[in-house]
Structure 1
Amino acid sequence: MQRFEFKVIPAPKRGEKARGVKTTEERFALALTSLMNQLGAEGWDYVRADTLPCDERVGLTGSKTTFQNLLVFRRVIEPLSVVAPGTTRLLLQEPVPATPRLGPAEAPTPGNAPAVGPAKGLAAE
């Protein structure tokens, strides 16, 4: 089983200037690419980006909620354990109970079937 450690960092808020990179989108993508390549070189795998609320103090008694953009990374801290060839093991799933088998259906009892149609004996309202 693998164990991971996680790293959560704030997403960049500004782009990086570079030769040939002119638009805001290109600069922001460059900043994100540089950050992800730096962390990737350290063994971190990108997992996802999240936006989460954060309560901040304002003045002496006030507070406000802001939203923070975060990047989540992980890396393996314990290698996969060796499993004998030909065996598999699901670790995160509960064992599935065996489905009960049903026997043959019972034969219908001989006789007259009930009449089909509107109910009798009920007064119309």
Structure 2
Amino acid sequence: MQRFQYKVLPAPKRGEKAKGAKTTEERFALALTQMMNELGAEGWDYVRADTLPCDERVGLTGTKTTYQNMLVFRRPLLIEDAAPATTPPAAPLRVVAAAEAPARSIGAAIPAEGTAPKIGAAE
């Protein structure tokens, strides 16, 4: 089974000025192309663009919902990254038999359930 690592970035909001890119659409396409080529050089594959809601605070108690354009990229995990982290096994629990349990002296007061000893100044 192939495992992937994902990266989600905000889409560019403005275009890049460049020779030959005169319209807003051309400048925006250039900014997007540069971003995708930079990530592609790092091994990231473009997956999709999503517009997602985001709640923002307004004033002291108000909120408003804005929508953010996000770009989703992924790349395969390396073999050493895909292996689950190994942790040493926990020591097995040991059942204590009644004979091994600490003995109470006869007549020792058993505190009532839900009460705690009183705490006072040290003597």
User: For the superposition of Structure 1 and Structure 2, which TM-score range results when normalised by the shorter chain?
Assistant: 0.5 to 0.7
Query: Which residue does the alignment assign to 2:4?
Result: 4
Query: Any idea what SS the aligned residue of 1:6 has?
Result: strand
TM-fit CA distance, 1:7: 0.1
- TM-score, normalization: structure 2? 0.63
Partner of 2:85: none
State the secondary structure of the residue aligned to 2:32: helix
* RMSD across aligned positions (CA): 0.8
Aligned-partner Cα distance in 2 for 1:65–1:21: 33
Aligned sequence identity (%):
81
Residue 71 of structure 1 deviates from its aligned partner by: 0.1
Which residue is 2:23 aligned to? 23
Measure, in 1, the Cα distance between the counterparts of 2:70 and 2:18.
24
What is the aligned partner in structure 1 of residue 36 from structure 2?
36
Shift of residue 78, structure 1, vs aligned partner:
3.6
C-alpha distance in 1, partners of 2:44/2:6?
8
Please list every run of at least 4 consecutive aligned residues from structure 1 whose deviation after the TM superposition is greater than 3 angstroms. none
Distance 2:35 2:64 in 1: 29
Structure with the larger helix share: 2
Gaps of 5+ in 1: 80-125
Q: Which residue of 1 aligns with 2:63?
A: 63
For the Cα contact (< 8 Å) 1:2–1:78, is it kept in 2? Answer: no
Matched residue type, 2:12: P
**Deviation of the 1:28 alpha carbon:** 0.2
**Aligned equivalent of 1:93:** none
**Count of residue pairs the alignment pairs up:** 79
Structure 2 gap segments, 5+ residues each:
80-123
Instruction: Provide, for residues 10-68 of structure 1, a one-character-per-residue CA deviation record: whole Å limited to 9, x for no partner.
Output: 00000000011100000000000000000000000000000000000000000000000
* TM-score of the pair, normalised by structure 1: 0.62
Verify the 8 A CA contact 1:10 1:71 in the aligned structure 2: yes
